[in-house]
Amino acid sequence: MQQQHQQLELKKTEQTLRIDSEQKTIEQLTRTIEESKRLTGEMTPFLAETFALITQQVEQDLPFLSQERQLRLDHLSEGLADPQLAVGEKFRRVMEVLRVETEYGVDIEVAQQSLVIDGRDLLMNQLRIGHYQQRQQQIVAQAEQDEMTARAQAAEIQQQLSHDKQALQQAIRQVRGDVERLTRETVTLAKKEKQLVGQHQRLDVEKSKRTAQLQELVGFIRMAARDVDSLIHQSQLNALNPQRGEVLRPLIEQQRFPGMDEVRSLRDLLLAQSQASGQVQIVKQSILDRQGESITAETVLLGDFSAAYRSADETGFLLYSQPSSRLFALSVLPSGRYQRQIERYLDGESASIPIDVGRGASLRQLTYQTAVTDQLNQGGFIVWPILVIALVAITLIAERIWFLRQNRFDATSLMRKLQPQIMAENWSECEALCRGSQKKALPRVLCAGLKFRYLEREELENVMQEAILAEIPRLERFLSTLAVLASIAPLLGLLGTVTGMINTFQVITFHGTSDPRLMSGGISEALVTTMLGLGVAIPIMLSHSLLSRRVETSIAQIEEKSIRFVNLVCQVRLAKVTVK
């Protein structure tokens, strides 16, 4: 009986310990779930506040892609109002919308805290029956001693044994009652343990669900923090405040769930970047000049696209260095026109300023541009004959243009004045009108006809034709030369191409094709001479065509007015014959 009682006590103790452990685990899970519910509850108003800030910024911003941005906000609003959507997914969508509003660039882990349950240890009830056994042994020993000592005391000993027997029976009944009570308590504890195990399993499922949601949310926060950190460090606006990205360090590096203050810092930093990327800022900023020295210059930042500066010595464009988070001057100064535009903008005299929408890509190309003289030197000796042809052609074209402008004449007006004088046979007045413009081709031809006005029609026409033929060489002078020059220039370019390719193959013969830079000289010579030859020939051919057309028009006009003159003279003669 005593052994059974001890086994029940031991089993009860084990069950009590298991129940206590289950209760501690359940209380810890309950606290974790409550913490998860609290964090989820805090995240919902935070997302609503962030959505309101984004909406306010979109409403106050310039009307840029309003329908697209409003559609994005409507879609985000529907997502935030969807109760089936996880909090982490809602946060990811909010940060994605906030990231999109900017360019139009966190390791966070959960740390659980152990709690002491009620701040006290549980007490256990233990029942010991050794005292009764020891007392029974003493009574038996005393009885044996009394029986051996004197039979006379048998009645007294028997009475004492009877009394002890009753006490022992009472103790046995008490032990049996305790056994029954412990059995009932064991059954009750087993049921309670079964209930706690079921509750533990349910809480484990809920904890897993909550943990997955929190891990998803933390993952989105960490991803957003990394994206924003990359965006901040790639932006030239970071040169104004290189330390502004430090607020993201806790989100990226710490192994705990981020606080709402840190998440708000992430949002505020992205909002500030979005607003600053649409502004023009003029500040006094420390930059690196073209010699690599640090100076303070007047700097204008055109959003996140490009920047320019003006110092005491020069004006130029700036590029952003991400490793050092500093602005440095472009190694090549822009043209004077760009410099004047920058200076006028900084002085408030103009609202326009050059901007590189490629965020520095176009500005970097300025450092690789080759001057015209360098390109000509790359063409070799063939370039110089082509340039001589170009110079000669320009001289001849200028002379022809000047000559034709000097010989422009209003032939219709002259014939209108000559016609009444011819009809009146006032030949002296006709000669005076022609001599007044003796430097022009048509008056000279008409003067030649007036001298032989008394000849027959055919002879007079021959005289006029002879005078016209005398004027044609003066009009067509140098046109054939221009045609020849236009033909020679591309041939010289082709010759330069051939010599350049010969040089290239010679380099390949001696050095192979391992280093393309060794072959670039011959290739440059071939291409530059071809380009220069065509560039000279095309304008010469165009000028030759226009000048030839102009000369043909002048000759046709002279011939037409000469025939008109002959017809008028013959008409006067015919009128005189008719009168007679």
pLDDT by residue (tens digit) across 143-179? 456 556 655 555 665 676 667 667 767 767 776 776 6
Q: Phi first, then psi: what are they for 63, rounded to 5°? A: -70, 75
Instruction: Check residues 56 and 402 and name the one with the higher pLDDT.
Output: 402
DSSP characters for 20-49? HHHHHHHHHHHHHHHHHHHHHHHHHHHHHH
Q: What integer pLDDT is reported at residue 133 of this predicted model?
A: 38
Q: How confident is the model at residue 517 (pLDDT cuts 50, 70, 90)?
A: low
Instruction: Give me 492's structure tokens.
Output: 């010289």
Q: Is the pLDDT of residue 534 over 50?
A: yes
Q: What integer pLDDT is reported at residue 146 of this predicted model?
A: 56
pLDDT, tens only, 452-478: 878 888 888 888 888 888 888 888 888
SS3 at position 426: coil
Q: How confident is the model at residue 115 (pLDDT cuts 50, 70, 90)?
A: very low
Instruction: Check residues 161 and 504 and name the one with the higher pLDDT.
Output: 504
- The per-residue b/e assignment along 285-298, b for 16 or more CB within 10 angstroms, e otherwise, is bebbbeeeeeeebb
Structural element, H or E, at residue 369:
none
Lowest mean pLDDT among 89-98, 250-259, 307-316, 363-372: 363-372
Half-sphere CA count of 462, side-chain side, radius 13 A: 5
Q: Are 333 and 369 contacting, i.e. CB atoms less than 8 angstroms apart? A: no
Instruction: Check residues 180 and 311 and name the one with the higher pLDDT.
Output: 311
Q: What is the largest CA-CA distance in the chain?
A: 215
Q: What integer pLDDT is reported at residue 485 of this predicted model?
A: 92
Average pLDDT of the residues of the chain: 75
Q: What integer pLDDT is reported at residue 126 of this predicted model?
A: 40
Q: Is the pLDDT of residue 297 over 80?
A: yes
| Average pLDDT score over residue span 348-361 | 77
Q: What integer pLDDT is reported at residue 102 of this predicted model?
A: 72
Q: Are 129 and 172 contacting, i.e. CB atoms less than 8 angstroms apart? A: no
Instruction: Give me 543's structure tokens.
Output: 């000028």
The residue assigned the tokens 């903008």 is: 345
Q: What integer pLDDT is reported at residue 175 of this predicted model?
A: 66
Q: Are 29 and 203 contacting, i.e. CB atoms less than 8 angstroms apart? A: yes
Q: How far is CA 22 from CA 9, 172, 195, in A?
A: 20, 35, 10
Q: Is the pLDDT of residue 551 over 80?
A: yes
User: Could you tell me how many helices (H) and strands (E) the chain has, helices first?
Assistant: 17, 5
pLDDT, tens only, 119-142: 555 444 443 333 333 344 454 455
Number of residues that make up the chain: 580
Q: Phi first, then psi: what are they for 331, rounded to 5°? A: -65, -20
Q: What integer pLDDT is reported at residue 3 of this predicted model?
A: 66
Q: 244 burial class (0-12, 13-18, 19+ CB within 10 angstroms)? A: middle
Q: Phi first, then psi: what are they for 386, rounded to 5°? A: -65, -40
pLDDT, tens only, 302-352: 887 878 888 888 888 888 887 888 888 877 778 778 888 888 888 888 878
Q: What integer pLDDT is reported at residue 108 of this predicted model?
A: 33
Q: What integer pLDDT is reported at residue 394 of this predicted model?
A: 94
Q: Phi first, then psi: what are they for 258, rounded to 5°? A: -70, 145
Residue 118: left if φ>0, alpha if ψ -120 to 50, beta else—which one? left
Lowest mean pLDDT among 215-229, 349-363, 365-379: 365-379
Lowest mean pLDDT among 226-230, 331-335, 383-387: 331-335
- The per-residue b/e assignment along 396-413, b for 16 or more CB within 10 angstroms, e otherwise, is bbeebeeeeeebebebee
Lowest mean pLDDT among 70-74, 122-126, 318-322, 524-528: 122-126
DSSP characters for 83-146? TTS-HHHHHHHHHHHHHHHHH-------------STTSPPP------HHHHHHHHHHHHHHHHH
The residue assigned the tokens 């039979």 is: 151
DSSP category for residue 439: T
Q: 395 burial class (0-12, 13-18, 19+ CB within 10 angstroms)? A: exposed
Give pTM, 2 decimals. 0.49
Q: Is the pLDDT of residue 109 over 60?
A: no
Q: What integer pLDDT is reported at residue 168 of this predicted model?
A: 67
Q: Are 299 and 307 contacting, i.e. CB atoms less than 8 angstroms apart? A: yes
Q: Is the pLDDT of residue 415 over 50?
A: yes
Q: How confident is the model at residue 514 (pLDDT cuts 50, 70, 90)?
A: low
Lowest mean pLDDT among 1-15, 36-50, 523-537: 1-15
